[in-house]
Structure 1
Amino acid sequence: MKKVTLYLVLFFGVTIILSSFKNIEKPTNNPPSEFELLVQYLESNGNFINTLAPALITAEEVKENLKNEKYLVLDIRSGDWFDYGHIKKSKNVKGPELLDYFENKIDPTAYDKITIICYSGQSASYYTSLLRLYGFNNVYSLKWGMSSWAEEFATNIWIKNSKDEYIDQVEKTANSKLEAVSTPMLNTGKTDAKEILQTRIKEAFAKPYKEFIVKSAVAFENPADYFIVNYTSEESYNEGHLKGAVQYQPKQCLASSTSLYKIPANKKILVNCDTGLSAAYAVAYLNVIGYDVYNLAYGSNSYMNSTLVEKGLNGWTKNEIKNFPIVE
């Protein structure tokens, strides 16, 4: 009888132990998503958007280096405007064709600096960001675009679009960042991070930059249509921002270790900086990693220019125009 009892104890003991093993969940080894692979790759290979961006160059530096063969200037304005007037020795290249130009028409490593130029500096900043993310680390965009070179170019660009139209409608209370949210789903079909990046950047070049632009009138009328990233300093943010905008500090808040994952993947993202220039760099980055993202045209200068000028916060004034010579 004692033996039977012992056997029963052993039997139930083994059963309990085996049952406990079955209840232990096996560790999951799900591979990282394309989004995660891409973000990890970009952050471990320069982390451009959180360290160096924006890569701006001034009109003065371009002027001083017109005879320097190590400086190349690429003007992405229309052929008609280029013919009307351009910087000496600059080349006219369409924005969407820049990647092909870099890969097949020139040796980018032969230059110390390659400057991309447009009308206002915004589209040039967007394309410069894409090229930087692709690995061309000597590319810059001209601050304020051709508007900084001569007044005739600024008249219908920065002069016309620097306004106070909505200055009495800005919000000055701070809005909190969201908790962690879902991330974008990328479907390039690639498993190598570098290949994912290359595919995404080529797709970005295929989409016209004008499709990323939102004007201030639209943003003020429909702020709830967007998750608004106020990509400025805290000082600038506190002076006034779009309703509901959340402050994201440039050079740090678009990292996976800070606030990148608090940007919702299921909403349109509107990036607003002081000038539209830094925002264009961020828009390029967020677009490449999968967000549905847009740039507020001319930034906060489009609705509170006088405040930015008064506070010394990248406000546009005619002092930015250098009136340097052009070639027709």
Structure 2
Amino acid sequence: MEKFVKYFVLILMVSAFIMAGCSKDDDDDPPAPPPPAKFDVLKDYMIANTMDVSTVIDGWIITAQDVNAKAIGDFFIIDIRSQQDYDNGHIEGAVNTTLGDILTTAEAATKPILVVCYTGQAAGHGVVALRLSGYSDAKVLKWGMSSWRDDLAGKWESNVGDAAIGNPSWIVPPGAITDPAEFADPVIESSFTEGAEILAERVDEMLANGFSGIANGDVLGNPTEYFINNYWAAEDVVTYGNITGAYRLNPFTLADGTYKNLDPSKTIVNYCWTGQTSSMLTAYFYVIGYDDTKSLKYGVN
């Protein structure tokens, strides 16, 4: 009996030693790495699939003259003006829809898509959505319907002015652009984990929000409230000046890391000459995670 007890105790000791060793091994296992940030997943997907901003805004616009030269029938024309204005007159063959429904309407396209609005600005949001959704040759009608018929140019002509002349928030030539700084990446909240799914979700959100524009009076009235991005060439700033405090992020891409020069904590205002290119940028910036981004309506015109 005594031998049995000793033998039993020995078995218990060996078992305890083995269990302790296993427990220690388990404790030493490295923790699982955290999942990649949704922004990084989206960024890498877009770079890998030729969706960097430099590609998306390449060849994105066409004039009324060039449309007529090619023949209207060469395009699937989507008109995103109001139903009433569409009914009052539209380009032959154009289909009326809203910005929010543009992807659904585009499913019927069998030809390159041309997006038409009033002034060429809201259409930029639609073309970014289309180009990021497989319609890589979609284009904006430059100046919108303002360029198609003289009697429809009122929306553009009534917004041409000289609000910046003599305004203390406009730095006269040669201008003074703010040196770029590096900021944190934007944070994207999504239940999806794959780049394609995150992209589709972001595009849908951008379209649902509608055209994101801001009036010149709001920006000139308090420019320090915004992160202002001048999307001109450097020599144009020297010639015309710039809005006080403006940065100049041009060129800008995901691949080269210059997106880090955007501040996600502030309202970003993009401005260009006419508000058409800045509309494209604004839509793209929203998609990649800069939720509070606006286009200066009608640009410096």
TM (normalized to structure 2)?
0.83
* Cα separation, partners in 2 of 1:184 and 1:48, compared to 1, 3 Å: closer
Task: Report the CA distance between 1:265 and its aligned residue.
Answer: 1.2
For the 8 Å contact 2:72–2:92, the answer to whether it is kept is no
Per-residue deviation, residues 221-253 of structure 1 (Å, max 9, x unmatched):
01111100111211222322211000111xx31
SS in 2 for 1:168: coil
SS in 1 for 2:129: helix
Instruction: Give the counterpart of 1:38 among 34, 37, 42.
Output: 42
Counterpart-to-counterpart distance in 2, 1:65 and 1:91: 19
Matched residue, 2:99: 95
For the 8 Å contact 2:52–2:253, the answer to whether it is kept is no
Instruction: Give the counterpart of 2:63 among 37, 58, 62.
Output: 58
Amino acid at match of 1:208: G
**Where do 1:166-205 residues align within 5 Å?**
166-169=164-167, 170-171=170-171, 172-178=175-181, 180-205=182-207
Amino acid at match of 1:61: D
Amino acid at match of 1:166: A
Task: Report the CA distance between 1:82 and its aligned residue.
Answer: 1.1
SS in 1 for 2:299: coil
Counterpart-to-counterpart distance in 1, 2:138 and 2:158: 28
Counterpart-to-counterpart distance in 2, 1:254 and 1:270: 17
Counterpart-to-counterpart distance in 1, 2:196 and 2:294: 25
In structure 1, runs of 5+ residues without a counterpart are 1-25, 302-328
Matched residue, 1:149: 148
For the 8 Å contact 1:237–1:247, the answer to whether it is kept is no
Query: Is 2:230 aligned against 1:230?
Result: yes
SS in 1 for 2:209: coil
Per-residue deviation, residues 105-131 of structure 1 (Å, max 9, x unmatched):
x0x3x21x2100000000001110111
SS in 2 for 1:294: strand
Counterpart-to-counterpart distance in 1, 2:252 and 2:31: 32
Cα RMSD after superposing both structures? 1.8
Task: Report the CA distance between 1:160 and its aligned residue.
Answer: 1.1
| Corresponding residue pairs, total | 264
For the 8 Å contact 1:66–1:89, the answer to whether it is kept is no
Task: Report the CA distance between 1:256 and its aligned residue.
Answer: 4.3
Amino acid at match of 1:296: L
Task: Report the CA distance between 1:31 and its aligned residue.
Answer: 3.5
Task: Report the CA distance between 1:47 and its aligned residue.
Answer: 3.0
- More RCO (CA 8 Å, sep 6+): 1
Task: Report the CA distance between 1:28 and its aligned residue.
Answer: 8.9
Task: Report the CA distance between 1:48 and its aligned residue.
Answer: 4.4
Query: Looking at CA atoms only, which structure, 1 or 2, has the larger radius of gyration?
Result: 2
Counterpart-to-counterpart distance in 2, 1:244 and 1:67: 43
For the 8 Å contact 1:48–1:132, the answer to whether it is kept is no
Query: Is 2:248 aligned against 1:243?
Result: no
**Where do 1:1-328 residues align within 5 Å?**
29-54=33-58, 55-66=60-71, 68=73, 70-103=74-107, 106=108, 108=109, 110-111=110-111, 113-155=112-154, 157-169=155-167, 170-171=170-171, 172-178=175-181, 180-209=182-211, 212-238=212-238, 239-249=240-250, 252-291=251-290, 292-301=292-301
Task: Report the CA distance between 1:199 and its aligned residue.
Answer: 1.0
Counterpart-to-counterpart distance in 1, 2:116 and 2:65: 14
TM (normalized to structure 1)?
0.76
Per-residue deviation, residues 25-63 of structure 1 (Å, max 9, x unmatched):
x89944421011111111221134213515001101222
Counterpart-to-counterpart distance in 1, 2:72 and 2:163: 42
Percent identity of the aligned residues? 31
Counterpart-to-counterpart distance in 1, 2:253 and 2:67: 30
SS in 1 for 2:140: strand
Counterpart-to-counterpart distance in 1, 2:271 and 2:139: 20
Counterpart-to-counterpart distance in 2, 1:59 and 1:287: 29
For the 8 Å contact 2:278–2:295, the answer to whether it is kept is yes
Amino acid at match of 2:159: N
